[in-house]
Amino acid sequence: MSARPAAQVAAAPAATPSATDAADPCCAAPLPVLGRDVTVPLVTGGEVTYAALDYAASAPALQRVWDDVAAYAPYYGSVHRGAGYLSQLSTDLFENSRTTVAEFLGCREDDQVIFTRSTTDSLNLLAAALPADCQVFVFETEHHASLLPWRDARVTYLNAPRTPDEAVQTLERALADRDPYGPALVCVTGASNVTGELWPVRELAAAAHAHGARIVLDAAQLAPHHPVSVEELDVDWVAFSGHKLYAPFGSGVLAGRSDWLRGAEPYLAGGGASRKVARRPKEAGGGVDVEWHDTAARHEAGSPNVIGVYSIASACKALSEAGFDELVGRERHLIAKVREGLAEVPAVRVLSLFGDDAPRVGVISFVVDGWNSSHFAAALSAEYGIGVRDGLFCAHPLVRTLLGGEADEPGECGAPEAAPGEKSLNAIRVSFGAGTPDEHVERFVRAVKELVADGARWNYRTEDGRCVPDRGNDTVAA
């Protein structure tokens, strides 16, 4: 690829489904992803195309994203401080990506877009920027990324609501009882990483603002599935991760109001965050005087993850160009397939806060009577080539509430507490999105029915806290 301006690199052509994709219904999906033709071995013999149904943990990278990054890679250079052509091109690419993300999120004109490592990093950054004596209100239903960063603030944890209206009422009561003169922040998810249910973000934002509080939206599970507009939802900040949005390389975003961020000490102290640094005279005590940037750079110290940032921008473009109306419609089709299939299995109980009719994204958690969740997930993988999640999904209080356990009972993400056949307080999660073909969810439903009806065909054992196929024998389970 010959040298060309940054704008041309940024406009690398979108990936389109290959002839194989079009001919093979197994590969049919609105947006092709990497790994769609990867095969994996089965313990019972043979191989099968891998069914990646763990999008809520990390979605596979879009082919479009991978192609865009590959087109840019030969032009990689330092950002913001280089005089060379590749450095200038990379800087343009980085800042153009910031503009793309702002447009994708429907940001207001004076909002800042700060690039971070992940949703967790974004919310920890915001927590570090809270004004003194800030009160924080957070539902116990949050992912740990949005439940835990507020350790240095006065935190009120709100009980799990059972309807969207109850969520709004619970928040309104809590805010009405708060100190009315200090700053306050509400943190809420847009879509649950456990149940997939959509939360009433706009109504919660209205309640927060009516009581003089601000609100941050954890959109990690919402942004890959639904349009997110900071302005329309009237939230003050939004945070999400690239790896949930079909963009690898470990980047995230915090976007929103700039005043608290400008008033806070830099999240990291170092190059890029500083505008000017000067030695202080010995007679003045020595040391250095620092003038920090008041732009997004204030919280982006160090050499930025240009590849990760560009991959997020590429994914934002791909989703926008595909059209969320089409993506949402097809995802509802997949959700219906899974829910209808699971409803035909009496031993399966789907977990829900708001009930069967609640709108949701492609994230469904469930338990199976008589099965340890790790054992069930291991059998789906080893015998059917299906990748799902089991455990507490980094949302321990919520899962334990839904399963009837104590919300404060300790546990470790993904580590079952019992051997195969014994009860444990864990669940199974299946999740999917724009790269999921029908065949994957159809295979999943069929596998659930067969495992419940006939049991596993292989023997399993516990290894390092997980159920794994027993490679010590080469016979199927009795």
* Beta-strand relationship, 252-256 and 112-116: antiparallel
- Would you name the residues annotated as active-site residues? 394
* Tokens of residue 352, six digits: 């829900």
Q: In 10 A of CB 202, how many CB atoms?
A: 13
Look up residue 246 and give its DSSP letter. T
SS3 content of the chain, % helix, strand, coil (to 5): 35, 20, 45
* Tokens of residue 25, six digits: 């219904």
Tell me how far apart the alpha carbons of residues 55 and 336 are, in angstroms, rounded to a whole number. 17
450 CB contacts (<8 Å, ≥6 apart)? none
Tell me how far apart the alpha carbons of residues 430 and 412 are, in angstroms, rounded to a whole number. 19
* Tokens of residue 166, six digits: 């109850």
Q: 273-312 as b/e, with b when 16 or more CB fall inside 10 Å?
A: bbeeeeeeeeeeeeeeeeebbeebbbbbbeebbbbbbbbb
Contact 149, 124 (CB under 8 A): yes
Q: 29-57 as b/e, with b when 16 or more CB fall inside 10 Å?
A: bbbbbbebeeeeebbeeeeebbbbbbbbb
Handedness of CA 218, 426, 117, 98 (dihedral sign): negative
Coil, strand, or helix at residue 247?
Answer: coil
Contact 416, 436 (CB under 8 A): no
Tell me how far apart the alpha carbons of residues 176 and 451 are, in angstroms, rounded to a whole number. 50
Burial class (CB in 10 A: 0-12, 13-18, 19+), 166: middle
Q: Which of 127, 115, 240, 234 lies closest to 189, judged by CA?
A: 240
* Tokens of residue 293, six digits: 């940037």
